[in-house]
């Protein structure tokens, strides 16, 4: 349930407002002046704040200014018995969500708090989408001219425009996410969100809430309704990374979502239509897992309309110089350092390494060499700073 804070120097207002809101199942804290209210808002995350304007020590507009300067995004609803147009305009200009005059009207209070909480949910979803946009703005070109990479790029060109589901296989660090992003960026959905879920990083008891969302009160910590990744990716692309680590119960629900294009939030009672394009990736042998009863065969067939295999770095040795030079330029710019280069001997030494960590490991090694070596990196530098 949502957690609210009431800041008012009038005990009767605090008591009445608290009783009204608690009757509506909100959790409510109170503070008797602006100083205590500001301290509470800094200590606890609230979903919305009611704040009186006329108070001793620190008035409501000062509280509002302090909240904004501290970067606390909680919607603030100003209340006052001395309301006038100028005060209302000033509080809204300073960032208040709304302004309510005393005596307080019950219906106005409930409608305002509902709208404020809806805004909080929208802000959280916008933050997610902005992160995705920021990621998409970064270069996601698949670097390489080896036959294996040429084949992948050709496959992406053929498949991207369709809504066919794609299963991307390959070892950790080989660039599976990059392939998924390229599929999205070359698709008709590129202006819609690319939402990523790392199935291995989310505890099994939380994966269903993460994928399908939950209703308020669905479980102990479900303080408010949250949309899941399927809803956030509606009209865009949902990337299920490490799909082989998904629990059996979540697999069953994902299969149903793919079959029906509908999901149900945890604790919910109604189906919600969704239309994301689903791309999955794994470093595991799903066919072997199917034989062992660890992965659903029907889900596998739903996901693997198109299969793209991403090779290990050791299988595409000719791409290592291209990747190394790409990373050295990119990382030098990121660190604000003068450009550095590899000489031919260094590149030959890099090719000779057994890259168990694939592209991710190569990038980390290049960054290490940039930091520890001179302007021209040699084979001696590679032999010194790379553990083989």
**What digits encode the pLDDT tens for the residues 167-184?**
999 999 999 999 999 999
pLDDT band for position 113 (cuts 50, 70, 90)? confident
What is the rounded CA–CA span in Å between residue 52 and residue 150?
65
pLDDT value at position 271? Answer: 92
More confident residue, 342 or 101: 342
CA-CA distance, 152 to 306, in Å (whole number)?
12
Which residue in the block uniquely carries the two structure tokens 């099994």?
204
pLDDT at position 173, please?
Answer: 93
User: Residue 221 pLDDT more than 80?
Assistant: no
pTM over 0.85: no
C-alpha–C-alpha distance, residues 342 and 324, integer Å? 8
**Cβ within 8 Å of residue 97, ≥6 positions away:** 48, 75, 76, 77, 112, 116, 119
Shared fold status for 139-309 and 313-385: no
> Does 129 have pLDDT greater than 70?
no
* Mean pLDDT within 67-83: 83
Reported confidence tier of residue 280, pLDDT bands at 50, 70, 90: very high
Distance CA 8, CA 361 (A): 57
Fold of the domain spanning 3-120: Rossmann fold (3.40.50)
Report residue 135's pLDDT band, with 50, 70 and 90 as the boundaries: very low
Q: Which residues contact 321 (CB under 8 A, 6 or more apart)?
A: 342, 347, 350, 351
Q: In the predicted model, what is the mean pLDDT of the chain?
A: 88
**Amino acid 141: pLDDT:** 63
Residue 56 in tokens: 């001793």
Provide the residue ranges of all domains of the chain, joining segments of one domain with +: 3-120, 139-309, 313-385
132, pLDDT greater than 70: no
What's the average model confidence in pLDDT over 239-252? 93
**Per mean pLDDT, which range of 111-115, 128-132, 168-172, 219-223 is the poorest?**
128-132
Tell whether the model's pLDDT for residue 100 goes beyond 80.
yes
Kindly tell me if the per-residue pLDDT of 121 is higher than 60. yes
- Contacts of residue 162, Cβ cutoff 8 Å, sequence gap at least 6: none
pLDDT at 119: 64
Is the pLDDT reported for residue 82 higher than 70? no
Is pLDDT larger for residue 310 or for residue 93? Answer: 310
DSSP line for 187-207: STTTTS-EEEEETTTS-HHHH
State the pLDDT confidence band at 92, using cuts at 50, 70 and 90.
Answer: confident
pLDDT band with cut points at 50, 70 and 90 for residue 126 = very low
- What pLDDT does residue 337 have? 86
Query: Beta strands 262-263 and 272-273: pairing type?
Result: antiparallel
The stretch 86-110 carries a mean pLDDT of 82
Other residues' Cβ atoms within 10 Å of the Cβ of residue 57: 11
pLDDT higher than threshold 90 for residue 379: yes
CATH topology assigned to domain 139-309: Rossmann fold (3.40.50)
User: Which 3 state secondary structure label does DSSP give 332?
Assistant: helix
Q: Is the dihedral of CA 359, 363, 364, 369 positive or negative?
A: positive
Q: Residue 211: which pLDDT band, with cuts at 50, 70 and 90? A: very high
Q: pLDDT at position 84, please?
A: 62
Put residue 236 in one of left, alpha, beta given phi > 0 → left and psi -120 to 50 → alpha: beta
> What pLDDT does residue 143 have?
87
The CA–CA distances, whole Å, from 271 to 213, 278, 329 equal 12, 19, 49
Burial label for 276, CB within 10 Å (0-12, 13-18, 19+), is buried
- Is residue 257 very low, low, confident or very high in pLDDT (cuts 50, 70, 90)? very high
- From the number of C-beta atoms within 10 Å of its C-beta (0-12, 13-18, 19+), residue 215 rates as middle
What's the fold here for domain 313-385?
Helicase, Ruva Protein; domain 3 (1.10.8)
The answer to whether the CB of 267 falls within 8 A of the CB of 224 is no
Read off the pLDDT of each residue in 256-265 and give the average, rounded to a whole number.
93
Percentage with pLDDT > 70 across the chain: 93
pLDDT of residue 203: 80
Query: Residue with structure tokens 């496959």?
Result: 155
The pLDDT assigned to 122 comes to 53
Dist. CA 153–CA 39, nearest whole Å: 55
CA nearest neighbour of 231 among 265, 201, 256, 280: 265
pLDDT of 90 over the 90 cut: no
């Amino acid at each position: 349930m949502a957690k609210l804070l009431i800041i008012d120097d009038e005990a009767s207002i605090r008591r009445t407002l608290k009783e009204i809101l608690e009757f509506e199942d909100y959790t409510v804290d109170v503070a008797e002046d602006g100083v205590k209210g500001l301290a509470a808002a800094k200590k606890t995350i609230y979903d919305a704040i009611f704040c009186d304007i006329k108070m001793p020590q620190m008035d409501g507009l000062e509280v509002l200014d302090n909240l904004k300067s501290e970067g606390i995004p909680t919607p603030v609803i100003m209340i006052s018995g001395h309301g006038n147009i100028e005060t209302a305009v000033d509080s809204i200009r300073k960032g208040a969500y709304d302004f309510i005059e005393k005596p307080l009207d019950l219906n106005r209070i409930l409608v305002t708090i509902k709208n404020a909480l809806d805004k909080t949910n929208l802000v959280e979803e916008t933050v997610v989408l902005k992160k995705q946009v920021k990621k998409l703005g970064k270069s996601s070109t698949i670097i390489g001219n080896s036959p294996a990479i040429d084949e992948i790029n050709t496959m992406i060109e053929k498949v991207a425009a369709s809504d066919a589901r794609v299963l991307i296989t390959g070892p950790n660090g080989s660039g599976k996410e990059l392939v998924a992003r390229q599929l999205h960026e070359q698709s008709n959905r590129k202006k819609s969100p690319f939402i990523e879920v790392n199935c291995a990083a989310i505890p099994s008891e939380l994966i269903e809430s993460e994928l399908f969302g939950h209703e308020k009160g669905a479980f102990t910590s479900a303080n408010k309704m949250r949309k899941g990744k399927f809803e956030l990716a509606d009209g865009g692309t949902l990337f299920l990374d490490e799909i082989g680590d998904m629990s059996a119960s979540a697999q069953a629900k994902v299969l149903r979502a793919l079959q029906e294009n509908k999901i149900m939030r945890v604790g919910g009672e109604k189906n919600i239509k969704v239309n994301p394009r689903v791309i999955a990736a794994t470093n595991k042998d799903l066919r072997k897992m199917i034989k062992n009863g660890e992965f659903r065969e029907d889900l596998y067939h739903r996901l693997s309309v198109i299969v793209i295999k991403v090779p290990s770095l050791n299988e595409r040795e000719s791409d290592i110089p291209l990747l190394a030079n790409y990373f050295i330029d990119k990382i030098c710019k990121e660190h604000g350092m003068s450009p550095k280069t590899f000489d031919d001997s260094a590149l030959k030494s890099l090719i000779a390494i057994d890259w168990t960590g694939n592209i991710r490991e190569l990038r980390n090694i290049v960054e290490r060499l940039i930091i520890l070596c001179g302007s021209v990196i040699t084979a001696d530098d590679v032999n010194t700073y790379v553990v083989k």
